Amino acid sequence: MKISLHQSRIKWVLLSIGFIVIMLFLMQLNSMISTLKQEEQRKVKLWAQSVVRKAELVAKTEEFFDKVTAEEKSRLEQFIAAHKKLITEPINNDINNIYEQYLKEIKNIPIIQTDEHNRIQFFQNINVPSEKEFVDTSAIFKSFLYNEPLEYETFGMKFRLYYRESEMYADLRNVLNDFIESFLTEVTQNSVFVPVIITDESKQKVIGYGNVNESDVSKSNLKNTVSLMEEANTPIQIILPGNKTAFIFYEKSSFVKALQYYPILYVGITILFIFIGLWFFRTMKRSEQDTIWVSMSKETAHQLGTPISSLNAWITFLAQDEKNQDVCKELEKDVSRLTTITQRFSKIGSVPVLERQNVIMAVEEALSYLANRSSKKVVFDIRLPQEPVYACLNKHLFEWTLENLFKNAVDAMAGIGTIILEVTTENKNIYIDITDAGKGINKRDFKKIFQPGFTTKTRGWGLGLSLAKRIIKDYHRGKIFVKQSQINKGTTFRIILHKVN
């Protein structure tokens, strides 16, 4: 018992040391993860600030682009004014110079001036057929559909001025489109691998996305995905060309998400390895104990063989005198009992032979021997079925188990009280309940009492119940356990066996 207690203390000391080491490692790991999270948050903030600044730059570029557009349109309006003056005022060199000056001002703008029937009157920076008044001009005007023509009237004559952007304007528009496209690409495919979704003002239409699954931005999942991102970080509002409002939703990277679950995974794996280690240690310890018990049992059986043979010889010698007949009969019973015990010890460690046996008869035989040698103050209340009940048993080992339980019951009652033995059957099981009126067992010790070396007696080895469990569980594939127990009221042990026909 002292050795077991010492081993238990060592085990708990080692477990405490291991727990402290694990906690220190987890604290260090958690600190590293926190540092990584803060670093990523810092990068995300810098990225968000960069997004805002680039969005502002896009807006400024568009503003500049609009000014260029307005300026070109203003020049065209000035051209119209010059054209009106040319028609309404007398021809002189000054007016001609003004007209030519405006033509120079818009020399980079492709224009076509037509009458109300779309017959070309004047064109610049575009190729048209030489007989411009009579050809089909529909194909020519296709390239001018981007802008509505400017219409004006002079002296009852209606004119239309078709125009499109100049080469400089077209180049600026391409630059702006490329700039917007590269801006959106850079946002969605960011260097910090942050999941990003860009939506319109309604938050229901996706403009762009990156580092997210396509299923997350589908119509059915977009609302939920955006809501989760909005909970994680406040969305960034930007203005796209055309004064279109857009929102950038983002959250933690998958790397940081994975890191926050790493400690849990590590603890789980550590606990698993601890349990495997404890199981392995327990298995090794149990194997070692089994070897010791088997060796002790076989040695005990071997040592008992010689005195039993000697006792048989002495009984034979004493039986020659008729006066000793009664004594010799009792001695023969005890020697027979010793022989049975020797057989039991010799079978430990080897696979016992199980035979179809009547459980009722085996119970009665085990009880009859113990009842004759117990105190008269111990009453045995036997409740057995009327019909035979069969199970596959090794009779010697099974009777040994019952005797151990009976002896424990007698000891628990200090030799005074009633022991109830009841055998019942249900479906394919046989239930054997042994109840005493003794001092009872603490609930915390229900499983400990079956461990080798555990005992509550001042004088005891703690082997009886351990061997009983080995016999029932390992050899007979049954169960033995404490069904119920109350302090100072008694205990009930239950054995469950498999019934056979």
Q: With helix as H, strand as E and coil as C, how does 23-83 read?
A: HHHHHHHHHHHHHHHHHHHHHHHHHHHHHHHHHHHHHHHHHHHHHHHHHHHHHHHHHHHHH
- Read off the pLDDT band of 478 (50, 70, 90): very high
**Residue 148: predicted pLDDT:** 78
Q: Which of 353, 389, 387 is nearest to 499 (CA)?
A: 389
**Residue 312: predicted pLDDT:** 82
User: How far lies 67's CA from each of 64, 170, 205, in Å?
Assistant: 5, 14, 30
Rg of the chain's alpha carbons, rounded to an integer? 51
Q: Which of 432, 446, 342 is nearest to 396 (CA)?
A: 342
**Residue 145: predicted pLDDT:** 67
Residue 289: strand, helix, or coil: helix
Residue that is written with structure tokens 């998400």 in the block: 257
pTM for this entry: 0.44
Residue 366 pLDDT > 80 = yes
Query: What DSSP element (H or E) covers 500?
Result: strand 490-500
Is 453 in contact with 446 (CB distance < 8 Å)?
Answer: no
Residue 458: strand, helix, or coil: coil
What are the pLDDT digits (tens) for 199-245? Answer: 988 988 888 888 888 888 888 899 999 998 888 888 888 777 666 78
Domains identified in the chain and CATH numbers: 351-500 (3.30.565.10)
Residue that is written with structure tokens 């005195």 in the block: 307
Region 328-335 average pLDDT: 84
User: How far lies 314's CA from each of 25, 216, 324, 335, 421, in Å?
Assistant: 73, 94, 12, 11, 38
> Could you tell me what percent of the chain has a pLDDT over 90?
15
Residue 415: strand, helix, or coil: coil
Angle between helices 2-88 and 167-188 (to 10 degrees): 170
Question: At a CB cut-off of 8 Å and minimum separation 6, what does 209 contact?
Answer: 188, 196, 197, 198, 217
What are the pLDDT digits (tens) for 122-180? Answer: 777 777 665 544 445 566 777 676 677 878 787 678 888 787 767 766 776 777 677 66
**Residue 477: predicted pLDDT:** 92
As a whole number, the mean pLDDT across the chain is: 78
What are the pLDDT digits (tens) for 4-53? Answer: 455 567 667 777 777 787 777 778 777 777 777 777 767 766 666 776 67
How many other C-beta atoms lie within 10 A of the C-beta of residue 114?
22
Residue 98 pLDDT > 80 = no
